[in-house]
Amino acid sequence: MPPNHYHIAIIGAGAAGLQLALAMRSDPFFAEQRILLLEKDGKDENDRTWCFWEKGEGKCDSLLTQSWAQGDFFYKDQHHPLNLLPYRYKMLRGLDFYRFAKQELAAAPNITWLTEEVVKVANGEPIRIVGRQGEYSADWVFDSRLPEEFLALQPSPSGARRYVLQPFKGWVVRTPDDRFDPTRFTMMDYRLRWRDTTSFTYVLPMSAREALVEFTLFVPTLPLAEVYEEMLRQYFDKILKIKDFEIVETEFGIIPMTDFPFEKYSVGKHIRIGTAGGWVKPSSGYSFKNCERNSQKIIENLKAGRPANTGLFSSKFRFYDSVFLGVLQAQNKLGPSLFNDMYAKNDIQKIFAFLDNETTLTEDLGIISSFPKGPFLQSFFNLLTR
């Protein structure tokens, strides 16, 4: 085998690429296969925080910053306490996950991690990978780069694709005295919004004196850069009523929430993964657990000789997501009341199962009946005629 040829190449060391690599690392089936991981960044900074819910113990429990069994949802003068058990809501800092993954993968003699930016992938047998520093080839390529067709897509209320942006900015803050309850987190707080949009704040206390407070929007167009900090300062002043605090860390990101058909850009043995593979839940923006589940499914498919991306998507839940995104895109001001309806009328356990694509049709109808019919019927008919 040529030195620059590998059985498997993974492009990108984000949640999807690293979880796929770690899953292969722990499965004896791949022990004799040469695996290449290509990532342009050093992955030595805390560039994001992943949050997810999970029943019982999980693979990343030893890496968690914090987890909670109790939470809160706020909307206007309404407060919905959330008892999550048997779920827990878990917080994982990106840097902690990167360090763990680097250590695990470095101990595998068959896995090579290179700091390299991929500029082109040419499908064939084998698949050719062109990087800034060299060329490589592989039998299978799992690629987290977004398709150019998606990058050219612009969100618009009348667009053919449902496309809502989830921008967020968070502060990790430290206070001189006890101001947070580390046993509870705020899932969504709609008491303070930017203009007439679907925008909220969530609070993740790590201790009585330290928390991640993040302002988030689900919107068709991005606000000006200064909006995020202004809304965070208002939240500390008006809601938390905390005047004295130190910002010790910040994070910012934009998650696409869309029904764009990412899976169509997987061709042969060149498979799109992560956001580029449609692994982000379109209606919520959550992805970390999807990356874990889909990575395991890919491994099962490879071992069984099936196409790698078999069974990764549910057409039923993709349809639900498209309808919901259509409402947020066309009537964004309705978002806060819609989420309030969902949390007020359903157990959090049922909501989590629904968002994990694990509910039956009867259970789906119970969730769907929480919402007003008019906006969703309009979105449904728009979906049929696009």
Token pair, residue 290, equals: 């999807």
Specify whether the CB–CB gap between 268 and 124 falls below 8 A.
no
Say what angle helices 94-106 and 15-25 make with each other, to 10 degrees: 30
Residue partners of 66: CB distance under 8 A and separation at least 6: 90, 91, 182, 204, 205, 206
Residue partners of 54: CB distance under 8 A and separation at least 6: 87, 88, 90, 289
> In the prediction, which pLDDT does 159 show?
60
> In the prediction, which pLDDT does 60 show?
95
The candidate with the shortest Cα–Cα distance to 276, out of 54, 118, 63, 61, is: 118
> In the prediction, which pLDDT does 381 show?
86
d(CA 127, CA 214): 41
Strand order in the sheet with 246-258: 78-83, 70-75, 184-189, 198-207, 210-218, 163-174, 246-258
Q: What is the pLDDT along the chain (386 residues), one digit of tens a residue?
A: 677 899 999 999 999 999 999 999 999 999 999 999 999 999 999 989 999 999 999 999 999 999 999 999 999 999 999 999 999 999 999 999 999 999 999 999 999 999 999 999 999 889 999 999 999 999 999 999 999 989 887 666 556 688 999 999 999 999 999 999 999 999 999 999 999 999 999 999 999 999 999 999 999 999 999 999 999 999 999 999 999 999 999 999 999 999 999 989 999 999 999 999 999 999 898 999 999 999 999 999 999 999 999 999 889 999 999 999 999 999 999 999 999 999 999 999 999 999 999 999 999 999 999 999 998 888 888 887 76
> In the prediction, which pLDDT does 160 show?
63
> In the prediction, which pLDDT does 251 show?
95
> In the prediction, which pLDDT does 158 show?
55
Specify whether the CB–CB gap between 321 and 354 falls below 8 A.
no
